[in-house]
Amino acid sequence: MAKIYDFTVKDRKENDVSLKNYEGKVLLIVNTATGCGFTPHYKPLEEMYKDLKDKGFEILDFPSNQFANQAPGSDDEIHEFCSLKYGTDFPQFKKIDVNGETADPLFAYLATEKPFTGFGKGLKNAALKKFSDMNNKAFGDKAYIKWNFTKFLINRSGNIVSRFEPTEDMDNVRKAVEELLG
């Protein structure tokens, strides 16, 4: 059975990066987009990163354009947007697919281990579910990720602890990260 540290991903310059490099750290692995209603999540993500990186915390950012074409730029354009608009300093990797036959193996693994359980309650969440269901119809049983800014929390031993949908309050995400950091 695969473990998180068995995966190798590509950085935005196409270099291989082994997730073993992050062994012993608390990780938040996120699929992102620059033109999404959840793009402002970059701000609390960067604040959390700045506050907690010295305690052994890393955010791994994987842009994806599979949700309503909301990350259409090149890897460099996406990085420039995030750096200039949100001051992001956490590692940003190559743009990937997170669903379908071409899904990055890391995201297929994460989503299989921690499947989608819903966006939560409320009108906004119901509307997102309807929109995501339409978008993900083409991926069938390989619609692993339902929308941009899905976050997976990994403990220091490499175990997937939580999955946070983009509708989750970022304060709750931060609390979960802080609990793992001790």
Q: In this structure, what DSSP letter does residue 122 have?
A: S
Q: Which tokens sit at 181?
A: 């950091």
69 with 113: CB under 8 angstroms? no
35 with 147: CB under 8 angstroms? no
Q: Which tokens sit at 50?
A: 């700045």
Strands 151-154, 26-32: pairing is: antiparallel
Strands 16-18, 57-63: pairing is: unpaired
Helix/strand/coil percentages in the chain, nearest 5? 40, 20, 40
- Phi and psi torsions of 103, nearest 5°: -60, 140
Choose, from 17, 36, 68, 181, the residue flagged as catalytic. 36
- 82 tagged catalytic: no
d(Cα 30, Cα 64) in Å, to the nearest integer? 10
Catalytic positions? 36
